[in-house]
Amino acid sequence: MAKLEYRLFDMENGYPALYHYESIPKDEIVIRFLCDYFIKDGIVYEKTSNAIEPPLHIIYVKKATDEIPIPVDHRSTVGQGFIMMEIREYREDAQEYPIIQNLELSSLTDLAIIGQCNYLTLEGVEWEQTSLEVDEDRRTYVLYAEKTS
């Protein structure tokens, strides 16, 4: 287990800590380092960078002023006990991003593999990843993608 902290990327105020996790699996830190966005308490944050200051792992974020979180009542309907991931179609200036597929993943390793892929084929259609987020409010990871053709 390891320590993780989200800090606001605000040099004037000394990069204040927003959230601190005292004991988190290292595999989950790998995933969170991959994520472009982080949602917690109804706020969407965009990752600016990450760092390691042993024993602390740090993700620097800024508020994403152009993003609105998916409402908590839109939680994925797939079963609990798994790591939840939604694949959503990214559309520029969209109010809502349609779900392409819901996934139940059995390990953080499976999540890391999908999260690192540039292209993903689902039901014969190729998709290109645009971003990855962890939505703590809805307890799910979300991969956004665009059709390649």
From first to last of its 149 residues, the chain has per-residue pLDDT tens of: 999 999 999 999 999 999 999 999 999 999 999 999 999 999 999 999 999 999 999 999 999 987 777 776 655 544 556 899 999 999 988 888 999 999 999 999 999 999 999 999 999 999 999 999 999 999 999 999 999 98
Domain's final residue, options 35, 63, 91: 63
Residue 117 in any domain: the answer is yes
Q: 88 and 123 share a domain? A: yes
Task: Give CA 134 to chain center in angstroms.
Answer: 3
- Rounded to an integer, what is the distance from CA 149 to the centroid of its chain? 25
Number of domains the chain is built from: 2
Q: How far is CA 75 from CA 79, 90, 142, in A?
A: 11, 18, 11
* Within a domain: 74: no
CA dihedral (138, 70, 128, 48) in degrees, to 10, reads -80
22, two tokens: 């005292």
Coil, strand or helix at 148: coil
| Residue 69 belongs to a domain | no
* Structural domain boundaries, residue 55: 2-63
> Within a domain: residue 76?
no
**Beta-carbon count within 10 A of 146 CB:** 13
73: in domain: no
